[in-house]
Copies of this chain bind each other. A is one copy, B any other.
Amino acid sequence: MKVNKNYQNIAQSYLFSTIAKKVNEFSEYNSDKKIIKLGIGDVTLPLCKAVVDALKSASEEMGNKETFRGYGPEQGYDFLKDKIKDYYAGHSVKLESDEIFISDGAKSDLGNILDLFDKDNTVLVPDPVYPVYVDTNTMAGRKIIYMDANADNDFLPLPNENIKADIIYLCSPNNPTGAVYNKEQLKKWVDFANKNGAIILFDSAYECFITDKNLPRSIFEIEGSKTCAIEFCSFSKMAGFTGTRCGWTVVSKDLIFEDMSLNKMWLRRQTTKFNGVPYIVQKGAEAVFSPEGQKQIAQNLDYYKENAKLISDVLTKHNIWHIGGKHSPYIWLRCPDNMKSWEFFDYLLENIQIVGTPGSGFGKNGEGYFRLTSFGSFENTREAVERLDKFLK
């Protein structure tokens, strides 16, 4: 048996293990000092009551012969797809139920969708980037090219007619930078993709942090997108589902490449290689859209947004260039005094015991930048901000 040798080409990332090592070493010699972690990429607030109630009631149903559910539809139950359809209608996007596929998370489907594409395609990813886009394509042996996201373009690269690519990754609000495309910018990408026969894989996992009604929460708010884009979204950040696992993928029926319907191909892929998300979890996700669920998740999102604002405000006060934090849980800042990313990491850890993520871990354009997140507790975030305020004076 011949193995897939592309696996030899996947870069090993030591980003988070190096952070953990440095933090452990520091605390060993400074056990009296309280370290505050603002590098967390995971939610910390529990599931809201409406969701927990739905999970429990669905568990009861599964224990009862009359209401037990066996194999469900691989693409998800209508009760959930209809709610997502209505959610999109709320920001003026019209979808049909069979264009929505329930997934066990955006990350899974961002990898799995590649099954539909030939190996011989060129992939365009921004730098800095969420590593999964790169690693999944490396595994499949595709050629990857990078586009610069940097301060000159506010970390929002736009299409360049000289660069030819078949598969384009966009993430807005962005991980790791928190930058958000506006409609005019996304329209440029949609026009570029349609003109060049390219497909856009649009990761909208952080759309729930957008508060400005003029900013697009979905690529499908852009005219022409249904013939060139697939969107991946998730309950992970919206409703704290990182350990509960539910998301969705939108593949329009207008998405036709080489006379093949990607909607039909994806349905075939999912019915063959997936067996659907647990019924219980889909019932939990449905409850997110109930009036109580909406109220409760809004409170949680506000909590994170308030944290983000605190961090952003202290950076503004001290004239530290940064983006994100407004429509995103991430704050992306330029390290002061031209420090390198890891230099600033050590500097913060040693002096005020704040842990963040060095931007250089996300790509070469991340060098000299640093990521803070709003997923910590309010108390810790406030304390961290006070430390920063004193220290940056």
Residues on A facing B (Cβ under 8 Å):
1-5, 7-8, 10, 42-49, 51-52, 55-56, 59-60, 62-65, 67-72, 104-105, 107-108, 111-112, 115-118, 120-121, 132, 135-136, 139, 166-167, 197-199, 240, 242-245, 257-258, 260, 262, 265, 268-269, 272-281, 284
Contacts and interface: CB of A to CB of B under 8 A. Distances in A.
B62 A243 contact: yes
A65 B52 contact: no
Contact of A243 (B108, B111, B115, B278): B278
Contact of A63 (B52, B258, B260): B52
Contact of A1 (B257, B272, B274): B257
A59 B70 contact: no
Contacts of A132: 272-273
Contacts of A105: 275
A43 B63 contact: no
Given A3-B265, A108-B275, A278-B278, A64 B46 contact: yes
Copies assembled = 2
A237 to B, nearest CB: 11
Given A1-B198, A52-B63, A132-B273, 15 more contacts: A2-B120, A7-B268, A10-B268, A43-B70, A45-B65, A48-B63, A52-B62, A55-B55, A56-B56, A62-B244, A68-B243, A108-B274, A244-B280, A245-B277, A245-B278
A280 B115 CA distance: 29
B44 A245 contact: no
Contacts of A265: 3-4, 7
Given A107-B275, A274-B108, A243 B72 contact: yes
B44 A62 contact: no
B1 A167 contact: yes
Contacts of A139: 115, 269, 272
Contacts of A278: 243-245, 278, 281
Contacts of A45: 65, 68
Contact of A49 (B63, B277, B281): B63
Given A2-B166, A10-B268, A243-B278, A59 B68 contact: no
A4 B60 contact: no
A307 to B, nearest CB: 15
A3 to B, nearest CB: 5
A190 to B, nearest CB: 14
Given A47-B68, A280-B55, A275 B2 contact: no
B243 A69 contact: yes
7 contacts: A43-B70, A46-B62, A47-B62, A55-B59, A62-B243, A244-B279, A245-B275
A308 to B, nearest CB: 18
Contact of A46 (B68, B197, B258): B68
A14 B83 CA distance: 31
